Amino acid sequence: MSSTAIDDEAARQSDPIVKVHADMEVLLCDAGLRPVVLRSDTLASNARGWAAQLRAGDVIAGSDLARTAIVDERDVADAAVAALLAPHQAQLNLSPYLLTGPEVLSRADQVARLGAALGRRLSFQSLPADLARSRMLADGRPERLVEALLAASVCRLESTRTTDHVERLTGQPAGTFARWAIDHIAEFS
C-alpha cells in the first residue's frame, strides 16, 4: 500500500506522509523485489475522525487538505485481493495501480455528502494550523500523525486525477464517497 500523491519525477516528495510511502517503494525495489504497488488516494475512512465533532454539532472544523479522488477503503481491499490473486505477469503490467474514487472532492464536498447521508445540514470550517492541531489532538490523534497531517495540508498539491484501476482489478467501478457515507451513517450518529 502506498500513496497516489507520490511524484515519481520529484527529487523530494511533497510531505512526510508521501515521503514514507515513496521511501518504502524504493526499499522494496532496491531489495531486488518486484512488488505489486497499490497507490491509494485519500481513504474515505479518514472521515471517521470527524465523528466526535458531528456528535457535538453540525460544523466540522480542521485543516483543509487539497482536493483528491476519495476512495472507499473497501474498494482498496477488494483491489488488493484481486491484485494478489492475479497471475504474476498480469500484476506487473499496470503496477503501480492508482486507486481512486470516481470524483475529486474537497473537505467541504465530503462534509456536504456526509450531511446528506445523515439528513443534516453540515458545513466545513477551515482552521489555521495551530487551531487544527489542537482539534486533532483533542480528537485523540497521535501528535506525530497530527504534525504529518498538518504538513500535508500545507504542501500536498491538489489532484484532479481519477482512474479506472479499481474497476480493472475488481470488475466493479469504484464507489462514491456519498455511498460510503450512507453505508457508515451509524458511525456518525
Please give the grid coordinates belonging to residue 45: 475512512
**DSSP line for 54-100:** HHH-SEEEE--PPPB--B-HHHHHHHHHHHHHS-HHHHHHHPSEEE-
Average pLDDT over residues 159-171: 94
Question: Among residues 51, 54, 49, which one has the least CA distance to residue 121?
Answer: 54
Is-contact 43 84, C-beta < 8 A?
no
34-55 exposure pattern, b = at least 16 Cβ within 10 A, e = fewer: ebbbbbbbbbbbebebbeebbe
Lowest mean pLDDT among 32-41, 151-160, 163-172: 151-160
Is-contact 127 60, C-beta < 8 A?
no
Which pLDDT tens digit goes with each residue over 86-133?
876 555 556 799 999 999 999 999 999 999 999 999 999 998 888 888
- The pTM score is 0.87
Q: In the CATH scheme, what is the code of domain 2-188?
A: 3.40.50.720
Q: Give the model's pLDDT for residue 185.
A: 96
Round to whole Å and give the CA distance between 29 and 189: 44
Give the phi and the psi of residue 59 in degrees, each rounded to 5. Answer: -120, 130
Angle between the N-to-C axes of helices 143-155 and 129-138, in degrees from 0 to 180, rounded to the nearest 10: 140
Please give the grid coordinates belonging to residue 3: 500513496
Beta bridge partners of 71: 43
